[in-house]
Structure formats: structure tokens, C-alpha cells
Amino acid sequence: MTAETPTRYSPLSAWQDTLAQLPTGVRVRELPFLTQLSLRSQPGSPAAQAVEASLDITLPGPLRADMSGDIKVLWLGPDEWLLVAPEGRQDDLLAQLRSAIGDEFATVTDVSAQRTTLALSGHLVRTVLAQGCAIDLDPRVTPVGSCLTTLLAQAPITLVVRGEPGDTASDVWLLVRSSFASYLATWLVDACTEYRGAIE
């Protein structure tokens, strides 16, 4: 008797058509099954240095993210980062990092099932998000590379600003707990209502 692999469903699988019909200037797509590993370590410690050497990355400082490589690195706190990689990389990355850390003091935990990711792009993104977020989203305050843990319409999120410096359009990731995903999608649809028919 063979065991069947369970079917995976994204938290927003029923929302794809609705999100695809948002107004011009706000494009939203879900990135549902990204590998997400929580790294806890003291900055600059032997464990942190071992992680950096193993993955050929630099752990970013406060309120920053490194989105340049295959493995994205998001700062979440003074001694915490989120490593985000393509789907299905959990096992090999966990083994690689735990081997690199060895007996040094640090933890690496698979939290891939905890959150889903919404990728937003378009010239209206910051305007729409500002309706429900207390963070100042002006590019001069939150430039490319910013990584902020905040609330959007009372839903806890991690907001990452992507793209190239000086871009007129915004490219943003919203990482949200799976249990809040449908609520956040509902809010985004409602927040975009007044921009239907907006011109690029």
C-alpha cells in the first residue's frame, strides 16, 4: 500500500480570480508555498557568521531585507531573521544550516506553513496600503529594502519593499499569517474599490 501525498491548498486559492480583477495600478498575486525558516541568533556571533558563510548572504540590520538572491533574508527583530526560499527547500536548507551552526548557540525552525505571501505591484500600491497602515509609506521614509512588522487593517503583517531605487511603481511583499489571509484579501478588494477605472 502506497501513501498518497496530501493535496496542499493555499489560504487564498478561492481568491485568485477576484485578486486578478483589481483596478489598474494594483496587481496582486499570492506566493503560497514559499519555504520560510526562522533563524534566531545573536548578530555577529559565530553561529550568525556560520549561517552567512554557508548561504553566502549577509544578515541585514534593523528594518531591512536583502531580496537580491535566491534566498531572501528579512530582519524581524534584534536576534531574528526570516529566510525565504522557493517552495520545497525546507529540508535541505534546515540540514545545511544546522550542520553549519553545529554546537554554536542558535535555532533554525521551519515556519513555512505559518504565513502566506502576497506580491503587490503598481503605482497605486502605496496609496492603497496607506488606507490601513500607520507606517509612513512615502518612498523617502520606506525606501526599497525596507522590512517592517506592522498592522494592515489590524492584521499583523511583515511588509517588504522590493524593486530598484527610484522606481515610480511599488513592488511590495506582504507576509501574513494564513489565518488572516482571507480577511486581508477582503480588505484589499474593498480598499481598491474607489480606484476602479484608474489610468496608469
Ordered by start, the domain boundaries in the chain are 13-33+113-195, 35-110
Q: Give the pTM.
A: 0.90
Q: How far apart are CA 86 and CA 166, in angstroms?
A: 27
Query: What's the topology of domain 35-110?
Result: Alpha-Beta Plaits (3.30.70)
| pLDDT tens digit at each of 200 positions of the chain | 555 655 677 889 888 888 888 888 899 999 999 999 999 999 999 999 999 999 999 999 999 999 999 999 999 999 999 999 999 999 999 999 999 999 999 999 999 999 999 999 999 999 999 999 999 999 999 999 999 999 999 999 999 999 765 565 579 999 999 999 999 999 999 999 888 765 44
Q: How far apart are CA 101 and CA 199, in angstroms?
A: 51
- Separation CA 128–CA 134 (nearest Å): 12
Residues contacting 68, CB < 8 A, separation 6+: none
Cα 117 to Cα 30, 106, 152, 158: the distances in Å are 6, 26, 14, 9
Please say whether the beta carbons of 48 and 42 come within 8 A: yes
- 13-33+113-195 topology per CATH: Gyrase A; domain 2 (3.30.1360)
Strand (E) positions, 13-86? 27-31, 35-40, 65-66, 72-77, 80-85
CB of 152 closer than 8 Å to CB of 129: yes
Bridge partners of residue 162, in order along the sequence: 171
Nearest of 78, 184, 179 to residue 128 by alpha carbon:
184
144: burial class by Cβ within 10 Å (0-12, 13-18, 19+)?
A: middle
DSSP count for the chain of H helices, then E strands: 5, 10
Q: Nearest to residue 37, comparing CAs of 101, 67, 78, 80?
A: 80
The full 3-state SS of 150-165, as one line of letters, equals EEECCEEEEEEEECCC
- The C-alpha angle with vertex 44 and arms to 40 and 45, in degrees rounded to 5, equals 65
